[in-house]
Amino acid sequence: MRALLVTLVLLLGTMPLATAQWHLGLELATIRYRGSSRDTSGSHVITGGGPAGGLALGISIGHHWRRLAGTVRIAYANPGFAVAGNDMSIVDKTTGRLAEATLLVGTRVGGIGTSGAARLELGPSLHLWDFDGEVRARGGAIGAASYEWPVSSRFTGAIRLEGMASPSWFNATDVPPDFERRVTWRYGVGLGLHYRL
């Protein structure tokens, strides 16, 4: 985690100091997970388990160049832990808190009129999932499509569709013998407000 923070600070420090292009952001997103573990025998009532989903709150700082943009985002969520099977799921929200750090690089791909901007973004992420008091650190990759529009002279609204993939959030000793660990997928939709510095 310390190495990631040092890298992010160095990257931000090399960006040109054009204050009109810096943005602070606040985002609220709804997230949903798939994967992490799966029953391979077909003999269990529970067919899979992993993080459940819910709401995530994120703060970000970004810099826009002409068509390119770089953003560092820190987010917190309590997705909990879910087991599923037979068309039902059980969610435990007393465990499974998540802290996430993401570095996104994006480009403008279009817009509506002269004021709105459609962007595509990609980048690495670090997930710290607190599962029953034990923190699991997992690296992942995030891809997103967003649309931004002006709200006022300094504020911009944004909607973002996002997908994430990372190795299973379980350790090998967490799952029964008939279960296998799988890629953890996350899908999300977020609404944000950015302030231009």
Give 53's strand partners: 32
CB burial of 103-139 (b: ≥16 within 10 Å; e: otherwise) equals bbebebeeeeeeeebebebebbbbbebebeeeebebe
Q: What pLDDT, on a 0 to 100 scale, did the predictor assign at position 43?
A: 65
Amino acid symbol at 173: T
Q: What pLDDT, on a 0 to 100 scale, did the predictor assign at position 55?
A: 94
Amino acid symbol at 75: A
Half-sphere exposure of 138 (CA within 13 A, CB side): 22
Give the DSSP H or E segment for 159: strand 155-166
Q: What is the C-alpha to C-alpha distance for residues 176 and 43, in angstroms, rounded to an integer?
A: 12
CATH of domain 2-13+22-196: 2.40.160.20
Low pLDDT (below 50) residues in the chain: 4-6, 8-9, 12, 15-20
Q: What pLDDT, on a 0 to 100 scale, did the predictor assign at position 4?
A: 47
Query: For the CA atoms of 192, 91, 185, 178, what is the dihedral angle to 10 degrees?
Result: 170
Residue 4 has phi, psi (to 5 degrees) of: -65, -45
Q: What pLDDT, on a 0 to 100 scale, did the predictor assign at position 130?
A: 87
pLDDT in tens, 19-60: 448 999 999 999 999 887 777 776 666 667 778 889 999 999
- Largest Cα–Cα distance of the chain, in whole Å? 60
